[in-house]
Amino acid sequence: MEPKVWRELGLKDEEYTRIETILKREPSPTELAMFSVEWSEHCGYPRSRKWLKLFPQTGKYETLVGEDAGGFVYDGLAIIFKMESHNHPSQVEPKQGAATGVGGIIRDIFTSGARPIALFDSLRFGRLNTPLNKYIFNGVIDGIQFYGNCVGVPTVGGEIYFDDAYAGNCLVNVMCLGVAPREKIARAYAKGPGNPIIYAGSKTGRDGIGGCSILASTVFEAAEIEKRPTVQVGDPFTEKCLIEATLESLATGVVVGVKDMGAAGLTCSSSEMAAAGGVGIDLDLDKIPLREAGMEPWEIMMSESQERMLLCVEKGKEDKVLKIFHKWGLDAVIVGEVIKDKKMLIKSKGKVICDAPTEELAKAPIYDMKFTKSEIRSSKFEVKGKNPNEKLLNLLSDPNIASKKWVYEQYDHMVQTNTAVLPGGDAAVLRVRGKNWGIAATTDCNGRYCQQDPYIGAQIAVAEAARNLVVTGAEPAAVTDCLNFGNPEKPDRFFQFKSCVEGIVDACKFFELPVVSGNVSFYNESPQGPILPTPTIGMVGIIKDIERRCTAPFKDNGDLIVLLGGNKEAEMPELDLDVELRVQKTCLEAIRAGIVRSAHDLSEGGLAVALAECAILSGKGAVMNISSNPPLNAGDHYLLFAETQSRIIMTISPDKIFSLSDVAMLYEVPCAIIGKVGGRSLVIMKNKKRLVNLPVNRLQKVYFSALPGLLKGK
């Protein structure tokens, strides 16, 4: 076999030698293809797995750390969630790349036995100043709304950032959340020699071949457009049928294990199910339903055609499962059986084309990567504008802060009718049918912070995600992550990854948050350079009384505006985990006690932007006088726009001030009355000088029109 063969599949020379050692012979083309996808960075995590073991997996509630997704248990229900990336496919084919990212993460949830109830999208693009960047942005949004709306799972939250660092490599991170009775959770393994293996769902085609190895596990070169054939094609209507058929099959009690065919397709699902169960699988490729004629065995095993499942079923009871999938109009056929020998035994046209040990195939080698501290770029805190009014308007028109309504109004966020807090706030809130409690969820990460200081930046992502939940009245419960970085073979890139992981680990341990699932996406760079290090955090929490959920908009004229936390002048945002936790506990306890009317965390753009957002979303003005409050003793520029962490804006009725003060004193948190809701303008004064004085309707116009204006070229 010529070296170019395995190199084109993404394998290194030493990896090929290792495969020969495992097999004690030269691999067949099918075996080589299977090892190449299973050992790819996207599937096997050979360069990251060592560090992922550091994540805490226990927290306040019983945790479920599964094969395809994880979660926690509350009130007898398993809340299952996971986030994954579909970055490279979305860069070369935006609509289908994003659509199949949605489809793939939904399958991870319902193969766990949970019904998907919500989707979240954390997206990064180049600035909207070129036709290509606009094309990618529009295509990704189109793909998300196309698949999510058709499949019937509401897209209720997420985030979008724009930066030149993402121009050659966008990020499409998708999180899905589902619920199931604790005892109904399914496993992704095969067990019981003689038990049949069932293929169910769509037919297999040539789309997506090499998606996980050739596309996702290498950096982009100039001719990235040539990688379009490695992008999968999605069918959300088939996926809807697959959801119902799979959950109905699991309800029969005869399914031993189930796994979706995502990255690496049939190779991944079969070999990993076998390895997880400590068994082998005998597979007959002649029985695989094919969409295209003349497919080679290695193509069948590598294909990443969408909407496909693999099930291990109790022997003699397979007809129950087959009938269910056929009822839903889906292909379903027995393609093999469980064997005692721990190997993948695959036949095609009567010949054995693969005889490989499952454990070695399913577990990629672990590499110790070199890392060198990357140079931290100094950050000059600067907001453009001649005066505070102009600076605030410029910030509100920045697409990283401006309203994303143009995006989320394309999503069906009310299907299933569980959405209690709509998109556009700090976090989404979902009802749970038959329960008086609810679920809050969010995604968060600021790549610029992580570029400046990977360790602190990653901790800020965890802290802010938790703060986003707390201001709705939710107690943070568990975390998933999607770790997006450049080429891990470059020591400075790997240092960023390592430091971000360490930051997440320490923050999650401090907050007692288990990391129950996640994804690593390396090689996110192009000829233009690497992306910003972006360890996206997905976090889920519990609102113990859904009727006391809180939102960001101001509520009533005359309400007092209170700032929890203080101000601090610093070029780079800093984080004190102890202060952060005390601020969050104060806010959460006050909301649960019925003291708080509205709450909104401070993040990008600082105090002025947070106040403006509360005014914009409510249509109500406010007057602030911040001259006499020691926590705000800073220069005007920092006072208004500094992105100091661990701060929350709340409004309360005047008669609740002593109740709030008692809670704040208990946790030793600065608590200052800074203003009152009322009027038609946002006014911020210091020492009787008006720093900001802007009509709310003008703020609204700037905030809501910025993104549509950029897309139109205005």
Q: Which residues are catalytic?
A: 42, 86
Find the farthest-apart pair of alpha carbons in the chain and give their distance in angstroms, rounded: 88
Q: Name residue 402's amino acid.
A: A
Angle between helices 13-23 and 29-38 (to 10 degrees): 120
User: What is the chain's alpha carbon radius of gyration, rounded to the nearest angstrom?
Assistant: 26
DSSP annotation of 67: S
Beta-sheet pairing, 331-339 with 308-313? unpaired
The answer to whether the beta carbons of residues 595 and 656 sit under 8 Å apart is yes
* Angle (nearest 5°) at CA 213 between 212 and 217: 90
Q: Helix/strand/coil (H, E, C) string of 366-400?
A: CCCCCCCCCCCCCCCCCCCCCCHHHHHHHHHHCCC
Dist. CA 100–CA 305, nearest whole Å:
10
Residue 543: its H or E element: strand 534-543
- Read off the tokens for 377: 């770029």
Map tokens 């990283």 to a residue.
Answer: 400
The answer to whether the beta carbons of residues 395 and 383 sit under 8 Å apart is yes
The closest of 202, 108, 180 to 538, measured between CA atoms, is: 108
Q: Name residues whose C-beta falls within 8 Å of residue 162's C-beta, 6 or more positions apart in sequence.
A: 124, 125, 126, 127, 128, 399, 400
Q: Name residues whose C-beta falls within 8 Å of residue 103's C-beta, 6 or more positions apart in sequence.
A: 147, 151, 234, 236, 239, 306, 307
Dist. CA 165–CA 493, nearest whole Å:
14
- For 337, the 3-state DSSP assignment is strand
The answer to whether the beta carbons of residues 113 and 247 sit under 8 Å apart is yes
The answer to whether the beta carbons of residues 617 and 552 sit under 8 Å apart is yes
Residue 438: its H or E element: strand 438-444
- Read off the tokens for 608: 């002025």
The answer to whether the beta carbons of residues 216 and 84 sit under 8 Å apart is no
- Read off the tokens for 286: 């002649």
The answer to whether the beta carbons of residues 651 and 559 sit under 8 Å apart is yes
Query: Which own/partner pairs from 705-713 qualify as long-range (CB within 8 Å, at least 24 positions apart)?
Result: 706/396, 706/397, 706/398, 706/399, 706/402, 706/403, 707/399, 707/402, 707/403, 707/404, 707/405, 707/406, 707/407, 708/406, 710/128, 710/399, 711/128, 711/134, 711/137, 711/138, 711/406
Measured in residues, the chain has a length of 714
Q: Helix/strand/coil (H, E, C) string of 91-138?
A: HHCHHHHHHHHHHHHHHHHHCCCCEEEEEEEEEEECCCCCHHHHHHHH
